[in-house]
Amino acid sequence: MKKKPLILISNDDGITAPGIHTLVKVMRKIGEVVIVAPDGPQSGMGHAITIGNTLRLDRSLAFTEVEAYECSGTPADCVKLAKHHVLKDRRPDLVVSGINHGSNSSISVLYSGTMSAAIEAAIEGLPAIGFSLCDYGHEIDFSHTEEYVELIVRQALEFGIPHGVALNVNFPKKSAEPIAGVKVCRQARAKWEEKFDERLDPRGRSYFWLTGNFVNFDKGDDTDEAALADNYVSVVPCQFDMTASHAIALLNNEWNLNPEAIPVIGSKTAESGAAEG
């Protein structure tokens, strides 16, 4: 009998969030599940890790049918503790994170705790997928994601994910129309245009609340934003190597990085340059 794959589950919304319960429901159909997730919300933490405080890891009562732990740290902490402590004698066949309450498409991937759990797994050489639903409502229905979560996970287990890559999967908000399908995309070039709303607390002291609007500058039809707008599931392969390879030649060929090229204050070269300016 073929052994069931071992699947590690984490998230950034916390171990009691509805999205992780949906993910666990689907993953239990596929393999053996172990959960290590934050004990509370960690949204927007990016790839933060805990280095100045203690980390606590306790068995969780949020799940009784699977092995589950809640961690006081960040999503990246959760994956690190899972690999080096909880599963120190076992290697997960796949790490899945989510399902996030809200979009992690385009530039949001940099801020996402959901994707940071997946990226941390990729750093550790483990295949990983982060799942997010583009819905910020209070009462979210995740049911339309289940079929596609199962499809993508089974494909990942059968055919593999390239080493050092984590898949960023986003689902469109549930609507009257069924999901149109799945598109493998690139990340759209977009950003959040932030605004800091200054307010006063009851004691008259000012504080700031971050707000803003998402602005998509990318009109390409091959992006995650375009796919989601057309009611497709977007799949973007992500990597943790952030080297801008195209800039290496420019720095090597056009910059002068010899310390002798720095003008010395008081030298004739510096004085003539100042006079010309």
In order of 98, 196, 207, 210, 222, the CA distances from 200 in angstroms are: 35, 13, 6, 14, 44
Give 105 or 213, the one with higher predicted confidence. Answer: 105
Give 36 or 263, the one with higher predicted confidence. Answer: 36
Residues 6 or more apart in contact with residue 154 via CB below 8 angstroms? 30
Q: For the beta carbon of residue 29, count every other beta carbon within 10 angstroms.
A: 11
Task: Work out the mean pLDDT of the chain and round it to a whole number.
Answer: 90
Nearest by Cα to 234 from 184, 179, 161, 173: 184
Give 209 or 25, the one with higher predicted confidence. Answer: 25
* 277 pLDDT above the threshold of 90: no
Model confidence over 63-93: pLDDT tens digits? 989 999 999 999 999 999 999 999 999 999 9
| Chain CA centroid to CA 233, Å | 16
Q: What is the C-alpha to C-alpha distance for residues 108 and 218, in angstroms, rounded to an integer?
A: 15
Q: Check residue 46 and give its pLDDT.
A: 85
* 274 pLDDT above the threshold of 60: no
Q: Check residue 195 and give its pLDDT.
A: 83
Residue ranges of domains in the chain: 6-188+221-244
* 276 pLDDT above the threshold of 60: no
* 273 pLDDT above the threshold of 70: no
Mean pLDDT of 101-116: 91
Q: What percent of the chain has pLDDT over 70?
A: 95
Q: Given CA atoms 244, 248, 249, 251 in this order, what sign does their dihedral have?
A: positive
In order of 197, 199, 205, 206, 209, the CA distances from 202 in angstroms are: 16, 10, 8, 10, 15
How many residues belong to the chain? 277
Model confidence over 165-198: pLDDT tens digits? 999 999 999 988 999 999 999 998 888 777 888 9
Q: Check residue 267 and give its pLDDT.
A: 55
Q: What CATH number is given for 6-188+221-244 in this structure?
A: 3.40.1210.10
DSSP helix/strand/coil, 214: strand
Q: How confident is the model at residue 114 (pLDDT cuts 50, 70, 90)?
A: very high
- Looking at the DSSP bridge assignments, the partners of residue 166 are 128, 238
